[in-house]
Structure 1
Amino acid sequence: MKIFRTFEEIIDYAIDSEMNEIEFYSDLAERMDRKNVKQLFMNIALEKTARMLRLEKMKDLRIEFDVDEVQDMKIAGALEDIDCTKTDLSYQEALILAMKKEKDKFKFYSEMSEVAVNKECRDTFLALANEEARQKLKFEIEYDEFILVEN
């Protein structure tokens, strides 16, 4: 469980997380056979890159947080179900991994918005949470259209 003591630690964590997800989605895109699936994951990686740049700008603002409320975010890895290092990851497994990642990030940004003491920062975290929710929805729609239909 991660404990954040400063705004900078929160932003650094978020930036690192976005960088990891850029790598994750880029790698996932390379492993997919279907062109449209590759494009879906590459588009998400590009969105993550834009988000990472926004977080870098936030870091420069040095906005204050109510540190007493940001003690333990209880961000648990929800990816135990599927081994993301598998080289033969199925399309279904890839979508499940992606949905779980987006859900975790949504929770993280939502919790950050609740403890922000600055309106601009709170609004930014809410916007980031909404972007994560939209990305999760893209994967859910894809799952619904291509996985559930096949079963």
Structure 2
Amino acid sequence: MTDFYKCSICGKIVKVIAAGKGQLVCCGEPMTVLSTFKSVQEVLDFAIEKEEEARQFYLEWSNKLENKALREQFVEFAGEENQHKEKLQRVKSGSTFKPSAKQVTDLKIVDYLVDIVPTPDMDYQEALIVAMRREKASFKFYNDLAAMAEDEPMRETFLALAQEEAKHKLRLETWYEKEIYTEN
């Protein structure tokens, strides 16, 4: 199917569009090849693993954040990432999902923020930026998978998952706008 690379520092995933001679770099480090997917099952296994990583990220950071409301939001996101994982497991068994007809607003806040390398001592603002970037990367990942899907039910399933990630990003951007922009 195609090659995907992942940053070992921030977790960003990119799809190779055209192979060149250079090396892919993110956060100052070479990116590692994730896989050349040969089947839909391999894609689904990878996506399940990715959702588990996202769940772990939110749980880990929910324990580190001082802001109670954001901490609760991260715990909620962890639960939603687990639901995505369960959906993908059902897809492996033959289920499909359809995206909502309603479009998710993109505030594009994260598009204008500097990249943050996740560290154990990240502050509140940095944790929000990392989370927004992760959700944006997940959205793009599922959209890329939808574009590569060979059948309509699988395409719609990936679009539905992309939409879920877009909702997370919107909630985080709204939170960022309320908590960070209004403070500055």
Render the CA deviation track for 1:46-91: whole Å, top value 9, x for unaligned: 000000000011112299xxxxxxxxxxxxxxxx94332x332111
| One of 101, 113, 116 as aligned partner of 1:82 | 116
Q: Percent identity?
A: 37
Q: Measure how far apart 1:142 and its partner are.
A: 0.6
Give the superposed CA RMSD.
1.8
What letter is aligned with 1:92?
Answer: Q
* Partner residue, 1:112: 145
Q: Does 1:60 align with 2:93?
A: yes
Q: In structure 2, what is the Cα distance between the partners aligned to 1:116 and 1:149?
A: 42
Q: Measure how far apart 1:146 and its partner are.
A: 0.5
Q: TM-score, structure 1 length as denominator?
A: 0.83
**Structure 1 residues 1-151: aligned runs within 5 Å:** 1=5, 2-61=35-94, 81-84=115-118, 86-151=119-184
User: 3-state DSSP class of the match of 2:36?
Assistant: coil
Higher relative contact order (CA 8 A, sep 6+): 1
Please list every run of 5 or more consecutive structure 1 residues that lacks an aligned counterpart in the other structure.
64-79
Q: TM-score, structure 2 length as denominator?
A: 0.69
Q: In structure 2, what is the Cα distance between the partners aligned to 1:132 and 1:91?
A: 21
- What is the count of residue pairs matched by the alignment? 134
Greater fraction of residues in helix? 1
Greater fraction of residues in strand? 2
Q: In structure 2, what is the Cα distance between the partners aligned to 1:101 and 1:126?
A: 17
The worse-fitting range, judged by mean Cα deviation, of 96-105 and 3-12 is 3-12
User: 3-state DSSP class of the match of 2:128?
Assistant: helix
Query: Which runs of 4 or more aligned residues in structure 1 lie more than 6 Å from their structure 2 counterparts after TM superposition?
Result: none
